Amino acid sequence: MTTHGLYVMAAYGISTLALAALVAWVLLDHRARRRDLADLDAAGLRRRSDNRGIGT
């Protein structure tokens, strides 16, 4: 494999690792926010967009 080929493979590898890290970060953050919302819901706090009980 030529040096250019190694450069291209390294670039693809680094890009793949960076994208995988970003996806993992988003998924972990999503889980944390869902947990935060569940804690707030358990404490009795509701979101403003939650229309349960309004107008009934």
Query: Do the domain assignments include residue 12?
Result: yes
Tell me if 56 is assigned to some domain: no
pLDDT of 34-51, one tens digit each?
Answer: 999 999 989 887 777 776
Is residue 4 in some structural domain? yes
Query: In whole angstroms, how far apart are CA 4 and each of 1, 11, 16?
Result: 8, 10, 18
Domain range enclosing 32: 1-40
Q: Flag whether pLDDT at 56 surpasses 60.
A: no
* Residue 20 located in a structural domain: yes
Give a yes or no: residue 55 inside a domain: no
The whole-model pTM stands at: 0.67
Structural domains counted in the chain = 1
